[in-house]
Amino acid sequence: MTTTNKGNKALKVKREPGENGTSLTDDELLRVKRVTQKEELEKQKAELQQEVEKLATENASMKVELDALRSKYEALQSFARTVARGPVGPARGPIASVIGPLIPGKVAATSVITIVKSKTDARS
């Protein structure tokens, strides 16, 4: 006689090998199906709970990142407002002749030069 165990509920389905095996009644078959479905649903529930926890962790880390980016943005915005207001008196010094006078409400344009070095093969 073969006995199969399904999950924690100790569901046992007895089957005899050969043609003279006993068949399960409808009630027993329904019970087997119900217990099997319950186990599958509990497994799915556990998987979904793990996924929810993972997403909550991701969400929390993204909030921290967003807050950091927001504070950087606000600092840059504050700096831009300070630069846009300009100095109270006329600009003086060696840089003033290069960038010209600062006009309130306008940000001085700057240029950026990028130097790219290429790797060359040294042959002798």
Q: Where are the domains of the chain?
A: 2-83
Residues 33-60: tens digit of each pLDDT: 999 999 999 999 999 999 999 999 999 9
- Report pLDDT for 10: 56
Residues 68-77: tens digit of each pLDDT: 999 999 999 9
User: Dihedral (C-alpha) 39, 44, 50, 56: value to the nearest 10 degrees?
Assistant: -140
State which amino acid sits at residue 51. E
- Report pLDDT for 86: 73
Residues 1-24: tens digit of each pLDDT: 445 555 555 566 555 555 555 688
Phi first, then psi: what are they for 15, rounded to 5°?
-135, 140
Percent of the chain with pLDDT over 70: 53
* Beta-carbon count within 10 A of 78 CB: 10
- Report pLDDT for 95: 57
- Report pLDDT for 76: 94
- Report pLDDT for 111: 61
